[in-house]
């Protein structure tokens, strides 16, 4: 089946019941559609991306409320909003929520939604596994937070949960059990997703989309997936040991039994430092897409950007012990990790200068997305440079575990990661939803967030240098901490206000979308392939798999360079863009089994903590789901392949579980037949 823009293949679909009886398993095979049940069974990478994003934003609010509680407690000396016990739980859960339940899934939302679009694919390599990743992540997130209700409180050990303080003797509630098991579940989701997206990037690229033509966002997300792939097993091992230590009395971290408490620190930070780059690299990718678009210039030094990203990814494995400079690991280790930490600043610095060089001589149009992107560079620069100050190990002995560190990592993770992903939200919002976010409210959102952020975390540099330790639930008056803590609390509420403005913006923009002009496929005059298809993206993504002839493929379809080096338009967006009206594009069938399997995992978790029989039930659900899944064909032979709609998100994505086209440039007309899904499609026709 070859579908091209010139010859869209029309298939008349016979009417079918939406939920046909299937012989395998208990659940009938879903057929796709628009109801809520179709979200539960979808394998469409776009819907999964939307679900990741929505859930992540929900947990951003949860983590934000936790942050506000912390700031209320610390606003003035001798705070009494939270007791010591509750404070310790709230700050721990704030960190865990923001890292694992907000910023990682928000990055996953971008990865799911945009990697296939940017490489010209119809879906990820393994659509059902993709659904499994999301459902496992969601079940893990819910599981983790049920600790508040059934676990006697959240974990109270800090997000890095050092042993032996996280042992059952020192943290007797079930909070840490939920942490240990919940993070294993979340890790499983990220691991599955990482493998899926790596295979997608390597195997599903459109003809001509060589690795060195991939958009930088996809590149940074690909590096992130490799970091996840190698980092998550390490934390999983650590969590597994912690779980056994807590639930079954294993002495892995018990000093009295001869264990070295630093074992946990090494395992945690071998994961924990790459985690920093897992958080920041997606934002780097977003910034690398937004700045060129609004500067009207290609990214300066694409190769340097890619290879600095790879260098950061590699060197990120050799710096973990800089979190342990004062642990007593000895001067040789300290010196070695201090040096490696310094040199990871080089590729990071190169990236910053390349972004500036991209802006150099450009036509900088400061949309809200561009403002967020430039602010990301500025704020990350501050976070990076405060990082340089404690890469010097002796200086770090005065800085580590103080508010200076709290300031540093918030400038990196919030200033770099979160503000960067907000640039992405404003940039790609019309692509995902088919309407623009309001720029005026967006400006309010931006300035409130930027000012609030700097008021919150800027003073923490000073507090830390004044000697305020992190993780203290109160402080006394008279140490000079009063003023800056109050300022930080005010700043935190400004950030909250900016989030309120964001939500109002979404609500209002959505409400007024119909009365405003539609954004069209390419509202920003952007550069990569996702802008060549309608907004919102049709369920099959591309009418015709694009053939890629260079970097910034979409830009080159609109513009050329004349002999004087001047940019000339060669095609309008309307001429160059795909219409999204192809019908009969074969898409993989939805499935309930990923969701069913994900439901079993938290049951195993509750079982391990409370009653092993519950774990048995959970395990049976997982095994039954796996079994049914294994015998469920990738493509439902009875499925209706012709339910062509021109509405947006409509059920499944496309293509089977196999390799896509390789790097070679294929012919336009044969592009589709290179894809294994086409085999299933022709079967479907017969």
Q: Is 352 in the site for another protein (CB under 8 A)?
A: yes
Count of C-beta atoms within a 10 Å radius of residue 346: 13
Q: Which residues of 427-445 are buried (b: 16+ CB within 10 A; e: fewer)?
A: bbbbbbbbbbbbbebbbbb
Among candidate residues 171, 90, 184, 95, the one with its CA nearest the CA of residue 137? 184
Q: Which three-class secondary structure state does DSSP give residue 597?
A: helix
Binder of another protein out of 397, 611, 670, 685 (CB under 8 A): 397
> Mask: binding to another protein, 266-295, rule CB under 8 A, as x and -?
-----------------------------x
CA distance linking residue 194 with residue 197, whole number of Å: 5
Q: Is 638 in the site for another protein (CB under 8 A)?
A: no
Kind and range of the H or E element at 646? none
Q: Which is nearer to another protein, 150 or 385 (CB)?
A: 385
Q: Is 485 in the site for another protein (CB under 8 A)?
A: no
Q: Is 484 in the site for another protein (CB under 8 A)?
A: yes
Q: Which is nearer to another protein, 170 or 507 (CB)?
A: 170
Minimum distance of another protein from residue 159's CB (angstroms) = 10
Decide: 317 and 276 in contact? Cβ < 8 Å. no
Q: Which is nearer to another protein, 483 or 503 (CB)?
A: 483
Q: Which is nearer to another protein, 164 or 318 (CB)?
A: 164
Binder of another protein out of 7, 16, 251, 361 (CB under 8 A): 361
Query: Tokens in use for 214?
Result: 């991939």
Q: Is 402 in the site for another protein (CB under 8 A)?
A: yes
Binder of another protein out of 37, 297, 508, 645 (CB under 8 A): 297
Query: Could you tell me how many residues of this chain bind another protein (CB under 8 A)?
Result: 110
Burial of 355 (0-12, 13-18, 19+ CB in 10 A): buried
Options 9-17, 116-124, 143-151, 374-382: segment touching another protein (CB under 8 A): 374-382
- Spatial CB neighbours of 267, under 8 Å, sequence gap ≥ 6: 234, 235, 237, 238, 241
Binder of another protein out of 239, 278, 468, 526 (CB under 8 A): 468
Site for another protein in 521-560 (CB under 8 A): 525, 549-550, 556, 559-560
Q: Is 152 in the site for another protein (CB under 8 A)?
A: no
Minimum distance of another protein from residue 175's CB (angstroms) = 12
Options 5-13, 64-72, 125-133, 325-333: segment touching another protein (CB under 8 A): 325-333
Q: How many CA atoms lie within 13 A of 637 on its CB side?
A: 8
Q: Is 520 in the site for another protein (CB under 8 A)?
A: no
Q: Is 377 in the site for another protein (CB under 8 A)?
A: yes
Options 134-142, 186-194, 207-215, 338-346: segment touching another protein (CB under 8 A): 338-346
Binder of another protein out of 80, 363, 514, 664 (CB under 8 A): 363
Q: Which is nearer to another protein, 6 or 78 (CB)?
A: 78
Q: Is 336 in the site for another protein (CB under 8 A)?
A: no
Angle (CA) 356-441-68 rounded to 5° is 85
CA distance linking residue 330 with residue 332, whole number of Å: 6
Length of the chain: 686
Site for another protein in 562-591 (CB under 8 A): 565-567, 569
Options 119-127, 158-166, 238-246, 652-660: segment touching another protein (CB under 8 A): 158-166
Q: Show contacts of 297-300: CB within 8 Å, 24+ apart.
A: 297/358, 297/359, 297/361, 297/362, 298/358, 298/527, 298/551, 298/552, 298/555, 299/216, 299/354, 299/358, 300/354, 300/355, 300/357, 300/358, 300/360
Q: Is 435 in the site for another protein (CB under 8 A)?
A: no
Question: What's the sign of the alpha-carbon dihedral 262, 406, 504, 508?
Answer: negative
Q: Is 353 in the site for another protein (CB under 8 A)?
A: yes
Site for another protein in 32-51 (CB under 8 A): none
Count of C-beta atoms within a 10 Å radius of residue 6: 8
Q: Which three-class secondary structure state does DSSP give residue 292?
A: helix
Options 180-188, 460-468, 489-497, 536-544: segment touching another protein (CB under 8 A): 460-468
Binder of another protein out of 7, 150, 212, 472 (CB under 8 A): 472
Minimum distance of another protein from residue 331's CB (angstroms) = 4
DSSP 402: B
The runs of H, that is alpha helices, within 512-542 are none
Q: Is 514 in the site for another protein (CB under 8 A)?
A: no
Query: Tokens in use for 429?
Result: 């919002």
Query: Tokens in use for 518?
Result: 């539609």
CA distance linking residue 135 with residue 112, whole number of Å: 14
Minimum distance of another protein from residue 135's CB (angstroms) = 34
Q: Is 302 in the site for another protein (CB under 8 A)?
A: yes
């Amino acid at each position: 089946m070859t579908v091209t823009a010139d010859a869209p293949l029309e298939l008349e679909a016979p009417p079918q019941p939406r939920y046909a009886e299937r012989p395998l398993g208990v659940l009938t095979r879903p057929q796709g559609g628009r109801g809520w049940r179709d979200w539960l069974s979808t394998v469409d990478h776009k819907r999964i991306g939307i679900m990741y994003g929505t859930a992540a934003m929900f947990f951003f609010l949860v983590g934000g409320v936790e942050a506000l509680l912390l700031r209320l407690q610390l606003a003035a000396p001798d705070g009494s909003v939270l007791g010591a016990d509750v404070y310790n739980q709230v700050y721990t859960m704030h960190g865990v929520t923001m890292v694992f339940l907000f910023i990682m899934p928000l990055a996953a939302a971008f990865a799911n939604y945009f990697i296939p679009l940017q490489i010209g694919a119809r879906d990820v390599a393994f659509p059902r596994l993709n659904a499994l990743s999301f459902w496992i992540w969601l079940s893990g997130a819910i599981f983790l937070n049920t600790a508040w209700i059934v676990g006697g409180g959240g974990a109270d050990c800090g997000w890095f949960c050092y042993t032996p303080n996280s042992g059952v003797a020192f943290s007797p509630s079930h909070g840490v059990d939920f942490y240990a098991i919940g993070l294993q579940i979340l890790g499983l989701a990220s691991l599955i997703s990482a493998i899926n997206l790596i295979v997608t990037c390597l195997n599903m690229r459109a003809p001509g989309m060589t690795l060195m033509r991939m958009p930088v966002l996809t590149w940074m997300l690909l590096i992130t997936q490799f970091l996840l792939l190698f980092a998550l097993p390490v934390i999983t091992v650590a969590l597994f040991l912690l779980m056994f230590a807590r639930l079954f009395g294993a002495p892995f971290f018990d000093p009295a039994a001869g264990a070295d408490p630093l074992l946990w620190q090494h395992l945690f930070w071998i994961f924990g430092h790459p985690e920093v780059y897992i958080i920041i690299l997606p934002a780097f990718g977003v910034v690398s897409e937004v700045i060129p678009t609004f500067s009207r210039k290609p990214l300066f030094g694409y190769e340097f950007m890619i290879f600095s990203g790879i260098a950061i990814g590699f060197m990120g494995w050799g710096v973990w012990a800089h979190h342990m400079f004062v642990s007593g690991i000895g001067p040789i280790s300290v010196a070695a990790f201090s040096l490696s930490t310094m040199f990871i600043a080089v590729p990071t610095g190169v990236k910053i200068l390349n972004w500036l060089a991209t802006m150099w001589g450009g036509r900088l149009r400061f949309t809200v997305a561009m403002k967020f992107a430039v602010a990301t560079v500025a704020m990350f620069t501050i976070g990076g440079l405060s990082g340089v100050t404690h890469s010097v190990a002796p200086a770090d002995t005065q800085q580590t575990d103080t508010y200076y560190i709290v300031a540093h990592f918030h400038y990196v993770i919030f200033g770099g990661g979160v503000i960067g992903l907000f640039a992405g939200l404003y940039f790609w919002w019309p692509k995902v939803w088919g309407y623009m976010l309001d720029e005026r409210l967006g400006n309010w959102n931006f300035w409130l967030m930027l000012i609030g952020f700097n008021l919150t975390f800027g003073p923490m540099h000073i507090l830390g240098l004044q000697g305020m330790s992190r993780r203290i639930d109160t402080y006394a008056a008279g140490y000079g901490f009063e003023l800056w803590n109050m300022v930080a609390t005010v700043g935190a509420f400004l950030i909250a206000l900016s989030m309120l403005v964001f939500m109002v913006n979404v609500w209002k923009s959505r409400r007024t979308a119909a009365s405003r002009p539609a954004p069209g496929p390419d509202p920003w005059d952007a550069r990569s392939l996702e802008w060549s298809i309608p907004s919102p993206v049709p369920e099959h993504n591309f009418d015709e798999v694009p053939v890629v002839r260079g970097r910034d493929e979409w830009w080159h379809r609109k513009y050329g360079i004349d002999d004087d080096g001047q940019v000339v338009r060669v095609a309008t967006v309307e001429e160059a863009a795909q219409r999204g009206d192809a019908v009969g594009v074969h898409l993989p069938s939805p499935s309930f089994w990923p969701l069913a399997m994900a439901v079993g995992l938290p049951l195993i978790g509750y079982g391990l903590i409370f009653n092993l029989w519950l774990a048995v039930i959970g395990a049976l659900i997982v095994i039954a789901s796996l079994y049914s899944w294994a015998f469920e064909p990738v493509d439902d032979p009875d499925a209706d392949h012709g339910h062509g709609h021109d509405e947006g998100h409509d059920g499944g994505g496309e293509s089977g579980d196999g390799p896509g086209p390789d790097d070679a440039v294929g012919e336009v007309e044969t592009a589709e037949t290179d894809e294994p899904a086409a085999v299933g499609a022709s079967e479907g026709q017969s």
